[in-house]
Amino acid sequence: MKETENIFLDLINQHKAIIHKVSKMYTDGTEEQRDLFQEIVLQLWKAYPGFKGNSKFSTWMYRVSLNTALVYFKKDQRKVDKTPLDAHIDVMDNTESDQKEEKLAYLYKAVQELNAVEKALIFLFLENQSHKEIAENLGISELNARVRLNRTKEKLQIIIKKNGYEF
């Protein structure tokens, strides 16, 4: 058991960025993010005995993480915070790293206005998944994935523009 646990922890730590990104996509606040992160880790651990290695560990992680986020339920479901993005993000220096962080912060903020499935579509797209892979992960047709991803990208651009940011 201890050995299985160690193998699992090694694998999950190699890919922990997936859990971080899903948690940030689906929650709006540090505490909630931590809760969802914990929930995903727990669900991954519960599902791990069923992982037979037929697919890559990261592929399996995408599914469990996204499915957990899609049905995750907190008692105090918060409404989307629609205050201007600038109010939450300090003025940053113009170093490349800061600009990158700022851009991602704006992206995460804008994504909060998408619905759960649209978030999944954008997440998988940003993770470099093809339309076919997105369709397989979500259980929808490839055509549907393509059309809906394009619509979601347009919607996201409108949200970002509306919030006064352009990149």
Partner 1 sequence: MNFDDIKNDWNNPDVGAETISASMLKVKEAHTPIDIIRKKMKHEFFYQIFFLVIMFFLPVMISFSATTQMAYLACYAIICGFSAYYFFKFYKFYKNSYDMSMDSRKSILWFYYEMKLNIELYKALTYIVAFIAVAFGAIYILVEQNADLSKILAKLSPVYILLNCFISILIIGIITELWAWYYYGKYLKRVKKVVDELDFE
Among 7, 115, 130, 164, binds partner 1 (CB under 8 A): 115
Minimal distance in Å, beta carbon 99 to partner 1?
9
Binding track, positions 20-59, relative to partner 1; x by CB under 8 A = xx-------------x--xx-xxx-xxx--xx--------
Which 3-state string (H, E, C) describes 25-78? HHCCCHHHHHHHHHHHHHHHHHHHHHCCCCCCHHHHHHHHHHHHHHHCCCCCCC
* Identity of the residue, 84 or 115, whose beta carbon is nearer to partner 1 in the bound complex: 115
User: Does residue 72 belong to the site contacting partner 1 (CB under 8 A)?
Assistant: yes
Which 3-state string (H, E, C) describes 114-141? CCHHHHHHHHHHHCCCCHHHHHHHHCCC
Q: Provide the phi-psi class of 139: left if phi over 0, else alpha when psi is between -120 and 50, else beta.
A: left
User: Does residue 146 belong to the site contacting partner 1 (CB under 8 A)?
Assistant: no
Binding track, positions 75-94, relative to partner 1; x by CB under 8 A = --------------------
Minimal distance in Å, beta carbon 88 to partner 1?
18
Among 32, 57, 89, 140, binds partner 1 (CB under 8 A): 140
CA atoms in the 13 A half-sphere facing the CB of 27: 27
